[in-house]
């Protein structure tokens, strides 16, 4: 799998394409193509997750990212490979954008031992130490102090890493959000707090859960830098998050970024969605970031044929991930004690 | 050997481990410039500087979480709670993150962190500042819980806790900080006490008293009273509550056949109940009487000095329980 950074920082020695297109434009198209590939992979993987869930092959809770892919993909494109990412239970997109193999993600959802968390975490708890994926967490807001902690460690060691912390607007009323932002601003920790505002918390619209409409205003009380924008263009997301990442890396200052997005599916698979109209969802789908990226790619000279080939390659990745998940073994009880404690079990 | 206070023993442990490993840092309220609310951390700010001795605002949920995040990526934080009562504000961080991250990541992440501070009653500090938290934390797989009674164990166990790759709740006692005890000289090498090992500070033949932390000292007084009446009591000071040293408990039961468990926390679902269960499972045939518990009274702690003492395990109650299991009434 080609890393997005490798695309973004392709060296001039790379052979020029056959078309007499200027080098910069070609690289820009290749970069967007890579972001599109990630978004489309996430969407297709999740569509298949929904199918497997309906078939009873995936248990527990399943929170889909469909509609929000441009946030995770755009934001993570602004990172170094060794930077840290931490998020909520809606974590499939972040995991794949961070470079985790779709096979390992799908196997985890199936509860298989080949899953990224060996079948012990499930959909909500995707971890990968090698990729700097610090996991998805199930207590709303509870992971935000952890992000301040990994950023604290980076500053303590001077390793130059930045932590990206993702959460929904449903998290910004709870104390752990405020304590983490307060401490990150006080101690100047290299962390970017990304609020993915999909407007509905679980099923309650923002105006009924918050006294202000602009989430980014929460930064003001902490003297923290802030930003606020729509997630419809993945390149815009990357560009704006890069500003915050650069600020964190260069001056060790945190930022609160409110990214306005929309989930096309329910909060989880058990959500009947009675709190919004189908007209509203259809109107929002007109801003689908995947369609926008696809249109942009065509404008940049990518042919329908080229995009179809990419889509076909993604289908193969999805098919392979499902097959891997379905044929992998389950973990046995012997795994439980060694994963609970490091060293002998403390009984 | 030299005699130092319990708080000095803790301070030595922290300083030695910070000296030994740059990944160790100390964070909490008033731990630095103020020199610690109970002076455990006195002088550490001057010695190690603000990078490693960090004064946190009053935000236990926030700074406990910061410690856990830092531990996940390789640091070894010591998080001080001014008292363990305030750990309740950070309860979610401790039980949902510190205790879970290793298992839910399939063993990829560890969380080498110590949460330490005074636990249990002090003197007339009222219901919200007098709670014993060991039963809450010992209940949770993924955590270790330690509660020393003596200065030497305080030092050795804290050093072991800092080096442990698991989250450890290290329960101290405000009323023990000033007591003195023999602690090996640092020049004679690292003084480590293994987590999960009880010891027998007083051997006896007629009855076993199992205790930990402050009540160990009450039990020693009870043993002196019993001796006056010709009763030889043995004391098992657990030191660690999770893991629990079943072997030392059972060996003592095999010797005395009678047991009293004495602790400060509430009776309902307390650590004492767990110990009684282990004894009846592992040493049923060795028992000559039902195991009795002496615990804190089943009410929030009152402020009034006499009522507070009424609610806490006292020497006469332990003596009485020992006699009851010996049927000497």
**How would you class B39 by CB atoms within 10 Å of its CB: exposed for 0-12, middle for 13-18, buried for 19 or more?**
middle
Picking from A33-37, A99-103, A202-206, B81-85, which range would have the lowest pLDDT averaged per residue? Answer: A202-206
DSSP assigned state of B93 = I
Residue A1 has pLDDT above 70, yes or no: no
Is residue A106 within 8 Å of residue A88, measured between CB atoms?
Answer: no
The backbone region for B241, taken as left when phi is positive above 0, alpha when psi lies in -120 to 50, beta otherwise, is alpha
Residue A6 has pLDDT above 70, yes or no: no
Cα–Cα nearest to B79, from B67, B97, B91: B67
* Alpha-carbon span B205 to B218, nearest angstrom: 19
Mean pLDDT taken over chain A:
92
Cα–Cα nearest to B271, from B252, B243, B299: B243
Please write the tens of the pLDDT for every residue from A74-84. 999 999 999 99
> Domain A4-10+21-330: what homologous superfamily?
Thiamin diphosphate (ThDP)-binding fold, Pyr/PP domains (3.40.50.970)
DSSP string of A254-312, one letter each residue: -EEEEEE---SS-SSTT---TTS-HHHHHHHHTT-HHHHHHHHHHHTT--HHHHHHHHH
Interval A288-314 mean pLDDT = 96
Residue A21 has pLDDT above 80, yes or no: no
Residues 275-304 of chain B with CB under 8 A from chain A are none
Interval A175-184 mean pLDDT = 98
* Alpha-carbon span A250 to A80, nearest angstrom: 13
Please write the tens of the pLDDT for every residue from A192-209. 999 999 988 888 988 899
Pair of tokens at residue B170:
């290290």
Pair of tokens at residue A317:
């990745």
- Tell me the CA distances in angstroms from A233 to A95, A263, A302, B22, B149, one per residue in order: 20, 15, 17, 44, 62
Is residue B209 within 8 Å of residue B219, measured between CB atoms?
Answer: yes
A135/B109 Cβ within 8 A: yes
Q: Name every chain B residue with its beta carbon within 8 A of the beta carbon of A346.
A: 141, 143-144, 166, 195-196, 242-243
B101/A344 Cβ within 8 A: no
Instruction: Tell me if residue B202 is catalytic.
Output: no
Reduced to 3 states (helix: H, G, I; strand: E, B; else coil), residue B307 is helix
Is residue A39 within 8 Å of residue A290, measured between CB atoms?
Answer: yes
Tens digits of pLDDT across chain B (329 residues): 899 999 999 999 999 999 999 999 999 999 999 999 999 999 999 999 999 999 999 999 999 999 999 999 999 999 999 999 999 999 999 999 999 999 999 999 999 999 999 999 999 999 999 999 999 999 999 999 999 999 999 999 999 999 999 999 999 999 999 999 999 999 999 999 999 999 999 999 999 999 999 999 999 999 999 999 999 999 999 999 999 999 999 999 999 999 999 999 999 999 999 999 999 999 999 999 999 999 999 999 999 999 999 999 999 999 999 999 999 97
DSSP assigned state of A121 = S
Nearest to B66 among A117, A145, A175 (CB): A145
- Tell me the CA distances in angstroms from A52 to A8, A72, B164, one per residue in order: 35, 23, 41
Residues 117-176 of chain A with CB under 8 A from chain B are 117-121, 125, 127-129, 134-135, 137-139, 142-154, 156-157, 175-176
Residue in B closest to A335 by C-alpha: B106
The domains of chain A are located at 4-10+21-330
Cα–Cα nearest to B133, from B177, B94, B178: B94
Is residue B177 within 8 Å of residue B38, measured between CB atoms?
Answer: yes
Q: What confidence score (pLDDT) does residue A269 get?
A: 87
Nearest to B65 among A121, A148, A338 (CB): A148
A179/B61 Cβ within 8 A: yes
B216-224 CB contacts, 8 Å cutoff, 24+ apart = B216/B149, B216/B150, B217/B149, B217/B176, B217/B179, B218/B262, B218/B313, B218/B314, B218/B315, B218/B318, B219/B262, B219/B318, B221/B315, B222/B262, B222/B315, B222/B318, B222/B319, B222/B322
For residues B49, A179, A187, B94, the Cα torsion angle rounded to the nearest 10 degrees is 40
Polymer length in residues for chain B:
329
Q: What is the complex's ipTM, to 2 decimals?
A: 0.96
Cα–Cα nearest to A189, from A140, A255, A283: A255
- The distance of Cα B125 from the centroid of its chain, to the nearest Å, equals 19
The backbone region for A228, taken as left when phi is positive above 0, alpha when psi lies in -120 to 50, beta otherwise, is beta
Which domains are assigned to chain B? 2-187 (3.40.50.970), 199-325 (3.40.50.920)
What pLDDT band is residue A270 in, cutting at 50, 70 and 90?
A: confident
Residue A269 or A232, more confident: A232
Cα–Cα nearest to A65, from A91, A104, A88: A91
* Alpha-carbon span A241 to A243, nearest angstrom: 5
Q: Name every chain B residue with its beta carbon within 8 A of the beta carbon of A183.
A: 56-57, 59, 62-63, 66
Residue in B closest to A145 by C-alpha: B65
Q: What confidence score (pLDDT) does residue A200 get?
A: 87
Instruction: Tell me if residue B263 is catalytic.
Output: no
């Amino acid at each position: 799998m080609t890393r997005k950074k490798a695309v973004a920082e392709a060296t001039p020695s790379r052979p020029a394409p056959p078309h007499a297109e200027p080098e910069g434009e070609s690289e820009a198209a290749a970069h967007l193509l890579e972001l599109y590939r990630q978004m489309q992979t996430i969407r297709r993987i999740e569509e298949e997750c929904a199918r497997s869930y309906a078939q009873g092959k995936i248990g527990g809770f399943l929170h889909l990212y469909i509609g929000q892919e441009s946030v995770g993909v755009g934001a993570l494109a602004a990172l170094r490979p060794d930077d840290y990412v931490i998020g909520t239970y809606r974590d499939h997109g972040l995991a794949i954008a961070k470079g985790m193999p779709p096979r390992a993600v799908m196997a985890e959802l199936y509860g298989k031992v080949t899953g990224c968390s060996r079948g012990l975490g499930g959909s909500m708890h995707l971890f990968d130490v090698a990729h700097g994926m610090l996991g998805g967490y199930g207590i709303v807001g509870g992971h935000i102090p952890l992000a301040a902690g990994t950023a604290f460690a980076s500053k303590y060691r001077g390793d130059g890493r930045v932590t990206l912390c993702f959460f929904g607007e449903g998290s910004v009323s709870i104390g752990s959000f405020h304590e983490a932002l307060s401490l990150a601003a006080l101690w100047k920790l290299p962390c970017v707090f990304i609020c993915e505002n999909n407007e509905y918390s679980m099923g309650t619209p923002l105006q009924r859960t918050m006294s202000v409409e602009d989430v980014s205003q929460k930064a003001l009380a902490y003297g923290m830098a802030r930003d606020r924008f729509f997630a419809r263009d993945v390149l815009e997301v990357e560009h704006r998050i890069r500003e915050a990442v650069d600020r964190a890396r260069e001056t060790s200052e945190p930022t609160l970024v409110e990214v306005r997005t929309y989930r096309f599916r329910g909060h989880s698979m058990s959500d009947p969605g009675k709190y919004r109209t189908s007209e509203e969802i259809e109107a929002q789908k007109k801003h689908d970031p995947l369609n926008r990226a696809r249109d942009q790619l065509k404008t940049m000279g990518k042919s329908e044929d080229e995009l179809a080939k990419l889509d076909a390659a993604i289908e193969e990745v999805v098919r392979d991930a499902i097959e891997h998940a379905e044929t992998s073994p389950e973990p046995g009880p012997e795994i439980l004690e060694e994963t609970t404690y490091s060293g002998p079990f403390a009984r | 050997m030299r005699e130092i206070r319990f708080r000095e023993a803790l301070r030595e442990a922290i300083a030695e481990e910070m000296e030994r490993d740059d990944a160790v840092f100390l964070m909490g309220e008033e731990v630095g410039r103020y020199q610690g609310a109970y002076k455990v951390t006195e002088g550490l700010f001057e010695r190690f500087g603000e990078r490693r001795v960090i004064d946190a605002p009053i935000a236990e949920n926030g700074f406990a979480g910061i410690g856990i995040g830092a531990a996940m990526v390789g640091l070894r934080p010591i998080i001080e709670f001014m008292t363990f009562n305030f750990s309740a504000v950070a309860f979610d961080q401790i039980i949902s993150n510190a205790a879970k991250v290793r298992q839910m990541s399939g063993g990829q992440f560890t969380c080498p962190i110590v949460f330490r501070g005074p636990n249990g009653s002090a003197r007339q500090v009222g219901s919200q500042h007098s709670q014993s938290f060991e039963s809450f934390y010992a209940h949770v797989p993924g955590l270790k819980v330690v509660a020393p009674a003596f200065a030497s164990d305080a030092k050795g166990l804290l050093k072991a806790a800092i080096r442990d790759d698991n989250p450890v709740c290290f329960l101290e006692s405000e009323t023990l900080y000033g007591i003195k005890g023999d602690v090996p000289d640092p020049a004679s090498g690292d003084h480590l006490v293994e987590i999960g090992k009880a010891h027998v500070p007083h051997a006896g033949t007629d009855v076993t008293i199992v205790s930990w932390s402050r009540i160990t000292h009450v039990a020693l007084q009870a043993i002196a009273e019993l001796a006056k009446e010709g009763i030889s009591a043995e004391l098992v000071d657990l030191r660690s509550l999770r893991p629990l040293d079943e072997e030392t408990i059972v060996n003592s039961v095999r010797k005395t056949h009678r047991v009293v468990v004495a602790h400060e926390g509430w009776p309902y679902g307390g650590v004492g109940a767990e110990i009684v269960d282990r004894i009846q499972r592992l040493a049923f045939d060795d028992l000559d009487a039902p195991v009795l518990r002496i615990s804190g009274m089943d009410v929030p702690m009152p402020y009034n000095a006499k009522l507070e003492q009424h609610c806490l395990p006292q020497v006469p109650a332990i003596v009485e329980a020992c006699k009851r299991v010996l049927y000497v009434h």
